[in-house]
Amino acid sequence: MSDHLIRLVPILTWARDYDRATFGDDLIAALIVTIMLIPQSLAYALLAGLPPEAGLYASIVPILLYTVFGTSRSLAVGPVAVVSLMTAAALSNIVEQGTAGYAVAALSLAGLSGMMLLLLGLFRLGFLANFLSHPVISGFITASGLIIAASQLRHIFGIDAEGHNLLDLIVSVVMHLPQINLPTAAIGVGATVFLFWVRKGLKPALRGIGLGENAADIATKAGPVVAVLATTVAVWTLDLAQAGVQIVGTVPQSLPPFTLPSFSPALLQQLVLPAFMISVIGFVESISVAQTLAAKKRQRVDPNQELIGLGVANLGAAFTGGFPVTGGFSRSVVNFDAGARTPAAGAFTAIGLAIAAVGLTPLIYFLPKATLAATIIVAVLSLVDFSILRRSWDYSRADFMAVIATILVTLSVGVEAGVSAGVALSILMHLYVSSRPHIAEVGLVRGTEHFRNIHRHTVQTDPRILTLRLDESLYFANARFLEDVILARLAGDDQIEHIILQCSAINEIDLSALETLEAINERLSDMGVKLHLSEVKGPVMDRLEHGHFLEHLSGKVFMSQYEAACFAGLKPDRPVHADT
């Protein structure tokens, strides 16, 4: 087997050594994850605006495909909250929810996102995700969590309310509150309170009676299953559907069907941007989880191979009645904590969900949508974390501005605009900072060959010599700044005869910077001032030679700043060695 094949199909690296003990561990983890995933999958389908079975389908084939192509041993792939919200936001601009066209558009979105992820992986462009800075991601997740929670209030209260930003949603909920259906509200509010208690109160209680940390965690994760069972039985026995409680209803008993996404150019064109955003956000969420879990076992995930794994998983979702999927945080952590040792656990989970799709769907006929909404609200509110505001404010204003812009734009305009604003702002801020690099005027520390900032140290200078140290690579955005600084320093100062540029911190000089250096050199020549360079790094020197800069340089290039200064006429007050 070629190494190349093994790299592209990571299953080959672990399937050979698979044994009975590993099988047992994987099976138990799969069972636990399956039970947790059933209500979660149904809920996220609801969030994406799709029929509940789409949630199950989206968890089956994608998991199997990720098992073959993914590199994480613990990642569980399927619908997740933020991606489901983005799916709903993207599709409801284009097609009406509940129509057949909506479900087909969801397939197209998954297919397009899958193609993009696959291409990004094959072309090794995983680094693109790095442009989503941590503050932007934190801000985005927090704002999305609030929007998702607000969007579920209509199911909690049994009212009609719509909107894609927080204000619209809240206004709409308040306007429609008179329509409230009391039995629905009782179930919805009751389930929400119960699930919050399970998270906050039950775990300490279980630890109190001696349960281990992991076991208590897993028991807590079963809370949604209990809520689903209890409310389903309540609706069934009390005939609450007649009283206006919205229920899941008939779900087809079927394995994931073979489906075809639409390839209509008009539709694809409208979906390109949302698909790209979903791909990037989904990838970032997934890779963060995968790396966190892998590091705990000194394992390794390959970001570009992860893109391929997620891409294939999404293509799988597109052809089997699903919608966009990614590696989810909560399901992966449960999988890891439950002891999954290989991606086979994922495969067993898929089998478990397939059995559920075929056999258990009649049991959820009476499941109220309010219960699913409650599980979503409790899950996403745990992601809402405003501490990033405080933290970024304390750390740096630039980071704070990126966070606040992301949160405000996400809440007021929408998820895609929010992420775009945050990314654009953080790039602009980075460029701004690097466009005004630190330039120190340096002088000789007496008795040494070292040069230090004249404003911080007592150093020897010479009025005929100006020596500057630039603490950044020179490129188009900051080259003219250097020119401004030099020209400003020279204007009106007729004594200066030599300028020495200490280049020790310059890792790169691009063509703009080269031309600026040429312009500086020429302008200095016009003034009768010589330009020298010192401590130029090897690769930068190669560039300068290649660009013919050195032929026109009025001064010289020196190995050390000290040598350059002495050449220019500096007479050290206290030479380092008497014999030099």
Token couple for 404? 């606040």
User: What secondary structure letter does DSSP report for 462?
Assistant: B
Phi/psi-derived region of residue 132, left when phi > 0, alpha when psi is between -120 and 50, beta in every other case? beta
131 makes contact with a copy of itself (CB under 8 A): yes
> Residue 13: CB partners within 8 Å, gap ≥ 6?
6
Nearer to a copy of itself, 151 or 426 (CB): 426
Work out whether 472 is an interface residue with a copy of itself (CB under 8 A). yes
Minimum CB separation of residue 383 from a copy of itself in Å reads 16
| Minimum distance from residue 404 beta carbon to a copy of itself (Å) | 13
Selected binder of a copy of itself within 179, 362, 432, 545 (CB under 8 A)? 432
Instruction: Please give the residues from 347 up to 406 whose contact with a copy of itself meets the rule CB under 8 A.
Output: 391-392, 394-396, 398-399
Q: Which of residues 236-295 bind a copy of itself (CB under 8 A)?
A: 291-292, 294-295
Q: Pairing between strand 465-470 and 498-502?
A: parallel
| Residue with smaller CB distance to a copy of itself, 262 or 473 | 473
Tokens of 129: 């995700």
Taking CB under 8 A as the rule, does residue 510 contact a copy of itself? yes
| Candidate ranges 195-203, 429-437, 554-562, 565-573; the one touching a copy of itself (CB under 8 A) | 429-437
Q: Which one of residues 72, 113, 133, 231 is an interface residue with a copy of itself (CB under 8 A)?
A: 133
Closest CA to 132 of 250, 320, 349, 286: 286
Listed residue (274, 227, 293) closest to 71, CA to CA = 293
Q: Which of 127, 197, 263, 386 binds a copy of itself (CB under 8 A)?
A: 127
Q: x/- site string to a copy of itself, residues 483 to 502, per CB under 8 A? A: xx--xx-xxx-x--------
Please tell me the count of residues contacting a copy of itself according to CB under 8 A.
70
- From 162, 508, 559, 574, residue interacting with a copy of itself (rule: CB under 8 A): 508
Binding status of residue 477 toward a copy of itself by CB under 8 A = yes
Which one, of 136, 122, 234, 120, lies nearest residue 184 by Cα? 234
Shortest Å, Cβ 369 to a copy of itself: 37
Say how far apart CA 428 and CA 434 lie, in whole Å. Answer: 10
- Nearest CA among 200, 188, 214, 218 for reference residue 36: 218
User: What letter would DSSP give residue 445?
Assistant: P
Closest listed residue to residue 327, CA positions, set 303, 351, 348: 303
By CB under 8 A, residue 135 contacts a copy of itself: yes
Coil, strand, or helix at residue 208? helix
Query: How far apart, in whole angstroms, are the C-alpha atoms of residue 111 and residue 315?
Result: 5
Closer residue to a copy of itself (CB): 105 or 479: 479
Which residues have a Cβ under 8 Å from the Cβ of 199 and sit 6 or more positions away? Answer: 220, 223, 378, 382
| Bridge partners of residue 247, in order along the sequence | 368
Which residues does 542 contact at the CB level (< 8 Å), separation at least 6?
Answer: none
Least CB distance to a copy of itself at residue 340 (A): 17
Lay out the site mask for a copy of itself across 514-553 (x = CB under 8 A, - = otherwise).
xxx--x--xx--xx---------------x--xx------
User: Based on CB atoms, which residue is closest to a copy of itself, 345 or 514?
Assistant: 514
Listed ranges 84-92, 110-118, 125-133, 359-367: which one lies at the site for a copy of itself (CB under 8 A):
125-133
Q: How far, in Å, CA of 347 to CA of 26, rounded?
A: 9
C-alpha–C-alpha distance, residues 310 and 345, integer Å: 17
Rounded Cα gap, residues 198 and 206, in angstroms: 10
**Site for a copy of itself, rule CB under 8 A:** 127, 129-136, 291-292, 294-296, 298-300, 303, 391-392, 394-396, 398-399, 426-427, 430-436, 438, 471-473, 475-481, 483-484, 487-488, 490-492, 494, 505, 507-508, 510-512, 514-516, 519, 522-523, 526-527, 543, 546-547
